[in-house]
Structure 1
């Protein structure tokens, strides 16, 4: 189709806060650019949501969740125009996991109609991810101090659980990214991306 945007290779990471997502993507970006691959990154939207007055983390609402999902989709599609590889810090299923965690933390139940709409958006857009990694929570690793963090460890565990549950419930293929497994995942991701770019991919998800 004339004018159709050519989809790049899209690699996304999601998981509880302070589990190494940004650090892993920074290493992957460095390695790809060293190999002369054109890379675009889509950053975590939590701080942007907070700046405009939307509640985040344990205070998430369906509206803040919808904003993060749709804003994330828009930013990802914009990045498609500028790169061979797009790296996403917090894939859209992450926002749904955090919403579920926030509801559980507050002892609330979601509106089934709202939940269904959010799930449809997340499921449909997640087909654009070529490779999806979920970090795993290591409670012995402290919260990072490079940006405001929610210090509530109970909520951090809820986020880890519910992000994993969303991936399971929506049957979204993904690979695990434990705190001790970044070197292996980096090698894994680089091989996958280079194979995709060269047209010699093998489906090992």
Structure 2
């Protein structure tokens, strides 16, 4: 799809609370797309990068860390546009806002209305570029992964799940659910969707 003078790739994003299979699903999708000769770029979760530069995450998220993740995520996504047919986003911009709301709820705090409105505007405005957005659903029986430092608080994990879903609802962002037992079907559906977009059979991409 051409937006102004810019050729936009197909963008698929997956949001949701931690250890719900986002990265695994996107890795499988990337593998299948590359087998189909598509040029793929994955934009990764920014939580660890935020932590490395001294920004608070998880329970301690602030509006500043949230805005940094949103703006950096937008920058990384747009940078990838020039290098790929398909951009896969592990934690799109709505994710950061959901985690910020979860952190506030965990601490019993309220966001400043002006700050909340600004963050919501950033998320809403950029999310129009996602061709397909998934939200993982939490299965509490699946344990936290051990491949990276994780928050082991089950209550916060539930809070993040709830608030990410609420952000998508509040901002009216179209999305599909991605349950833990639905990855195979979602992979098939998404592969077909992306390849059709790349072929221009839906009329959107030439």
Q: CA 1:187–1:159 in structure 2 vs 1: closer, same or farther (change >3 Å)?
A: same
State the partner residue of 2:37. Answer: 36
How many correspondences in the alignment? Answer: 202
State the partner residue of 1:58. Answer: 59
Query: Is 1:162 matched up with 2:169?
Result: no
CA contact (8 A) 1:65 1:96 kept: yes
TM-score, with normalisation over the residues of structure 2? Answer: 0.96
* Aligned-pair CA distance for 1:45: 0.2
Distance across 2 between alignment mates of 1:159 and 1:140: 16
Gaps of 5+ in 2: none
Alignment of 1:85-124 (within 5 A): 85-124=86-125
* Aligned-pair CA distance for 1:202: 8.2
Alignment of 1:135-174 (within 5 A): 135-174=136-175
Distance across 2 between alignment mates of 1:196 and 1:25: 18
Any idea what the Cα deviations from partners look like across 1:102-136, whole Å, max 9, x if unmatched? 00000000000000000000000000000000000
Runs (4+) of structure 1 exceeding 2 A deviation are none
Gaps of 5+ in 1: none
* Aligned-pair CA distance for 1:176: 0.3
Distance across 1 between alignment mates of 2:95 and 2:203: 26
CA contact (8 A) 1:13 1:89 kept: yes
TM-score, with normalisation over the residues of structure 1? Answer: 0.96
